[in-house]
Amino acid sequence: EAECANLTGGVPDDHGIATCKSIALVARSAYVRTGANIIARADTLDVLVAEVAAADFDATAFRIEAVRTTDRFSVSSREAIVAVADAMRGFFPNLDNPQHRFLLLMLDDGLWFGEIVAESARAYRRHHDKPYQTSNALPPRLARAMVNIVSPPARVILDPCCGSGTIPMEAAEIGLTALASDRGSIVVEKARRNMERFGYVAEIRQADAREPLPSADAVVTDLPYGLQVDHAEDEARDILASCARAAPVGVFVTKDDITSMLVD
């Protein structure tokens, strides 16, 4: 939800559907799958069909996909698709290799019809094959979503507990400036080599996250003592305090409830 809200300006409902201000950044998303431009909207299928028939849009070699979240309409999803397709006069479907893909939403508040014009490129998937791994590294998809929560507007991302570099890799992939560090010399070297493997440029240094950190637009990090290793509370608190001095906003992963630390 947070990723969708920041990238598109729309908050998804319980079915994962959001009315957005923009879908320009959907391609870089981790969890937002598709973005569509709405062509017609109506309370009944008959009215929707009439609006689609009157609309001016290209539907050469089209395919219509349906998402149904309600039992309000008596027709099946297939029947609704056929009715809308019949209204697209002069155009013929191509289900196997469509030039245009359309989305028919059957919702409690009516029917929506639009063209899919944006999809997640899922570029984070290739980072599963990074050559140097650690057992408790974040999944690339989650790391991408964390970065997308703060960018835009953030352009400089700081990860002071970078491990093998999952978060700075995702930041660099979408064109952000990545600053990273870790107190372990072995994982710092792994992070550097992983960045080199994909041709990314980032400043990665060996440093203790409790010490002064470089300034950034946002901190995005997996607290090193959170997921699989119990951590001392005072150490985590010191890391968070250091992060708060380095950037005005932060996104953190930890197995513990750190609300009181964040408030402090």
DSSP states along 190-203: HHHHHHHHTT---E
Confidence of residue 228 (pLDDT cuts 50, 70, 90): very low
Give the confidence band of 231 by pLDDT, cuts at 50, 70, 90. Answer: low
Question: Residue 257: helix, strand or coil by DSSP?
Answer: coil
Give per-residue pLDDT as tens, 89-100. Answer: 999 999 999 999
Note the pLDDT of residue 137: 87
| Tokens matching residue 222 | 């997996």
Q: What is the mean pLDDT of residues 189-197?
A: 96
**pTM higher than the cut 0.85:** yes
Mean pLDDT of 31-41: 97
- If residue 146 lies in a helix (H) or strand (E), which one and from where to where? helix 140-150
d(CA 102, CA 206): 50
Predicted confidence at residue 20, as pLDDT, reads: 97
**Does residue 234 carry a pLDDT above 90?**
no
Evaluate whether 144 touches 124 at the Cβ level (below 8 Å). Answer: yes
Q: Is the CB of residue 154 less than 8 Å from the CB of residue 179?
A: no
Q: Label residue 227 by pLDDT band (50, 70, 90).
A: very low
Mean pLDDT of the chain: 94
Query: In whole angstroms, what is the distance from residue 127 CA to residue 59 CA?
Result: 36
183 close to 205: Cβ distance less than 8 angstroms: no
Q: Over 80: is that where the pLDDT of 150 sits?
A: yes
Q: What is the mean pLDDT of residues 11-15?
A: 95
pLDDT value of residue 236:
87
